[in-house]
Structure 1
Amino acid sequence: MVNFQWPTNRVKTTLTELKSRLRTCFTFPDGTEDEDITISREIGSGKERITTRILNDTDLVNIIWSDSFKGDLAFVVDTSQQPFSSWTFGKMKNLFSLSADSFVDLPKFDADRADTSEYKEVLRHVVEDIIMKHKASQSILSANEATRCEFISSVIYGVASVFNGEVKVCPQYEISGSHGKGPVDWAIKVRDMIIVITEAKREDINQGVGQCTIQLQASMQRNKKRSYDTALREIEMFGIITTASDWVIIKVVSSGVNDDSRVE
């Protein structure tokens, strides 16, 4: 619960002004637009509690400037998008009008193999770290998601370290887009631009691909707001879905027109 004051008058009593004030009191997921913020009023308590959504300026004015209003007002603030965790491959498939019934049926994209010969020391450190964790952990084949994340982190931080500080790893990074919101397991960033999203799963790579695709779309929407050049052209972003033993890389290409995206 957050308490705040909002000095206003009848002219300034608008949802836009209230949401602007709320942004100074709350931390919303990165990429949240004003239209994504929902505000409701709760009246009563327990079983008698009634929640009323404030849809427009008239609703807000009627509440604040009501003759019966005295004292503090309690609002419920949220965002309208679905949590990323609610997305499945099937729901994502329908959103983007894909024909594939599983991630294995998605089109394959070509990529060059990286030359790792100059990163032998980093590779050695990553392998040693994984071996150390393997000795002190249960078998990766029966481990829960939290344990698997420990092994995945070794690889992600090792790869990011070869870029001498230019690439940053941001675990549990909050983002928001037109179709989803919430934390992503790891966002990989160069300066203020997200370049890769990584999703950890105990199992069910298929669901992970569905979730990660929506996370990638939200990340591309976020990036477009921060770069004029990116907003004018087709962009692509890669996602990694992994159980720590199995690794799947997907590519989402967006033209920026509604939900016109290609998943490979």
Structure 2
Amino acid sequence: MTLTNDNTSFENPLVVRYPLSDSNINVKFRHVHKVAYCQIPHSSGSFYLLQREALAKFKDDFAEIETGDIYFENQNNKGIESAFHFNTLLKYTDQNGRDQYDLDLKIRIKNRKAYSDWKIGDVLQEIYNYKMNNLEMVRVEFDMSSLPESSPPLSTEVQDKIAEQIEDKTIVFEKVDANEATAREFISIVLVNTVKFVKTHNDSTTELLVEKQLKGSHGYGPLDYVVMIQKFYMLITEAKPYRVEEGIAQILAQLSSASEVLGKRKLAQTDFEFEVERMPLIGIVTTGRVWVFIRNTGQKIEISKNFECRYAGNMEGIKIVSSYIVRLLQAQITEINNRRLKRSRIAFQPGSLPVNSISTWTLSRNRLMIF
């Protein structure tokens, strides 16, 4: 018998572990796109130790997760949610004549899914509370031509630069959407140049991030790309070669998490004190060749037509997509600045609340701008 802690409290309880064998357990953890390894003894406390190891290995991803919220899946996608399940797994694991167990486990969080695990029907019913699970039954067309005109418009120089850089990529990559890593080579060209244009001409706080973690009550995991402006999420892009519908499911789950995050933020955490009113949340799903824009207004889900881009000739398709991205970002910047101006005017009106009292307000749900 091993006493693991003799300084006990409610938060730090005494844990007693009984050795069950002399074997060690070697574990390969899988979490979204990440992998980690650990070794633990085979004891009555092995499952608890496994939960603790998983939490420690991915502490940045699980900052708000309790140890008891973690469970696992084996390679057959069978859940391992308790010490009984874990010991049963070991019972049927072949040690191949060695004094150790080798396990390959996916880390799961109770009542949440990794964004990559969400399917469109489950997203519609479990997150957005639709009775039907068919996207075609709930979607409304997102008319991209209705967006405000660019100010300034994406220059011909930048459009030509995007086309030239893509042409260079097509010389060395024979297939744009061969896999996600290859698709990102092309997607990054579009996002880097459009974000740089907006940063230069519209708002110097504009920043492009990759693999940023986002956690919500239903989902967790990294965002392929996210644009932040004035400390707000402004655009989320999901790369999905060949699987546009899966990408839409992920984006919708991410938009839900993002709106929750904004709802928890204090105005004092921003550089300005104003109330951001309810605004649509927008996402992009792309295979590298096909681009789809999604807007969630809170009342409906709008999805654009597929914009198919040929990476040869004049590349008119990718120039159109690039212009739409700039227009979307500029429109959201204008909206935020208008609301900041509105709050400034209210703050200085006779009889209005003092400015410093506004910092105690919180932002309500669905006020995060994401693409």
Shorter-chain TM range is 0.5 to 0.7
The 5 A counterparts of 1:1-264 are 9-10=8-9, 12-13=11-12, 26-28=59-61, 33=64, 38=69, 47=90, 79-80=109-110, 81-95=112-126, 96-98=128-130, 99=132, 101-102=134-135, 106-110=139-143, 111-112=146-147, 114-115=149-150, 117=153, 119-140=155-176, 143-162=178-197, 163-164=199-200, 165-228=204-267, 233-254=277-298, 262-264=300-302
TM-score, normalised via structure 2 length: 0.50
**What are the superposed Cα offsets for residues 143-180 of structure 1, whole Å, 9 maximum, x if unpaired?**
22211111111111111101234211111111111111
> How many pairs align?
219
Partners of 1:100 and 1:106 within 8 A in 2: no
Give the TM-score normalised by the residue count of structure 1.
Answer: 0.67
- Residues 33 and 227 (structure 1 numbering): CA distance in 2 closer, same or farther, change over 3 Å? same
Structure 1: stretches of 5+ with no match in the other structure:
50-76, 255-260
**CA contact 1:37–1:79 (8 Å) conserved in 2:** no
Whose relative contact order is higher, 1 or 2, with alpha carbons under 8 Å and at least 6 apart? Answer: 1
The answer to whether the 8 Å contact 2:115/2:220 transfers is: yes
Contact 1:103 1:209 in 2 (8 A): no
Root mean square deviation, CA, Å: 3.7
Equivalent pair of 1:172/1:184 in contact (CA under 8 Å): yes
* CA displacement, residues 221-263 of structure 1 (integer Å, 9 cap, x when unaligned): 1122224489885342110001111111111234xxxxxx632
Deviates more, 1:213-222 or 1:160-169: 160-169
- Is the contact made by 2:227 and 2:235 (CA closer than 8 Å) also made in structure 1? yes
Asked if structure 2 preserves the Cα contact closer than 8 Å seen for 1:93 and 1:100, the reply is yes
Structure whose CA Rg is larger: 2
| Amino-acid identity (%) | 23
The 2-side partners of 1:38 and 1:155 are apart by 39
